[in-house]
Chain A
Amino acid sequence: GAGVSQTPSNKVTEKGKYVELRCDPISGHTALYWYRQSLGQGPEFLIYFQGTGAADDSGLPNDRFFAVRPEGSVSTLKIQRTERGDSAVYLCASSRSGSLLNEQFFGPGTRLTVL
């Protein structure tokens, strides 16, 4: 079956612009996670959804970052007033449930470059 998909695969934007990154989880997975990964680092947790609600958004670095999952499936990560330091690969993962005891299936990521 289809895995987790993310679009776009690459996004280049200018400092100060707004960007949206999309994640399509595996069908039927109720939990969805967003991570940010910089070169040579492990994935950095941003936010976790259980269904439509954000169960834990403690990893969002500041109020320029926001994520939604209005129908409990597709999620969008939104970044306002982008800064060069936001450049990274943004990974999305989904799992069958939100107990954190289930394996996470990662998407291929969106590489964001802020010029």
Chain B
Amino acid sequence: GQQVMQIPQYQHVQEGEDFTTYCNSSTTLSNIQWYKQRPGGHPVFLIQLVKSGEVKKQKRLTFQFGEAKKNSSLHITATQTTDVGTYFCAGPGDDMRFGAGTRLTVKP
């Protein structure tokens, strides 16, 4: 079955440093979604990528979808303490598969 893997599992950065999380699927995805979950909260939708090689930006966040539509990345420039949380990628296939997430902590 479809597997969605994310690395790293944890990332601790100093405020102002950049952060990147990577997502890899064992199968080609029709699209990929990214969610953020704050500690104690529920996942909140960030963005959806559909096209091969697509790049989307939201302020300091840059999302990429690989050419083969099997991998994706989220890059945050100049992290802030408000970026703290766990970032999940999710790929629909036969069912909706979430990665295990990358937990980001930011030291002020």
Chain A, 33-59, CB within 8 A of any chain B CB: 33, 35, 40-45, 48, 56, 58-59
Interface flags for B9-44 (1: CB within 8 Å of A; 0: not) read 000000000000000000000110100000001111
* A25 interface contact, C-beta 8 A: no
* A14 interface contact, C-beta 8 A: no
- B93's nearest neighbour on chain A, judged by CB, is A100
- B9's nearest neighbour on chain A, judged by CB, is A40
* B66 interface contact, C-beta 8 A: no
Contacts of B97 in A (CB 8 A): 45
Question: How many of A's residues come within 8 Å of B, CB to CB?
Answer: 23
The A contact surface, by secondary structure, is loop
Complex alpha-carbon distance, A17 and B87, angstroms: 34
- B89's nearest neighbour on chain A, judged by CB, is A42
- A92's nearest neighbour on chain B, judged by CB, is B42
* A79 interface contact, C-beta 8 A: no
27 contacts between A and B (CB under 8 A): A33-B96, A42-B88, A42-B90, A42-B98, A42-B99, A43-B43, A43-B88, A44-B98, A45-B95, A45-B97, A45-B98, A48-B96, A59-B95, A100-B92, A100-B96, A101-B31, A101-B48, A101-B50, A101-B92, A103-B33, A103-B48, A104-B96, A106-B42, A106-B43, A106-B44, A108-B41, A108-B42
Complex alpha-carbon distance, A40 and B102, angstroms: 10
Using a CB–CB distance below 8 Å, which chain A residues touch chain B?
A: 33, 35, 40-45, 48, 56, 58-59, 91, 93, 100-101, 103-109
Q: A42-B88, A43-B88 are in contact. Are A103 and B45 (CB under 8 A)?
A: yes
Complex alpha-carbon distance, A41 and B37, angstroms: 11
Contacts of B42 in A (CB 8 A): 91, 106-109
Q: How far is the CB of B53 from chain A (nearest CB, A)?
A: 18
Contacts of B50 in A (CB 8 A): 101
- B1's nearest neighbour on chain A, judged by CB, is A58
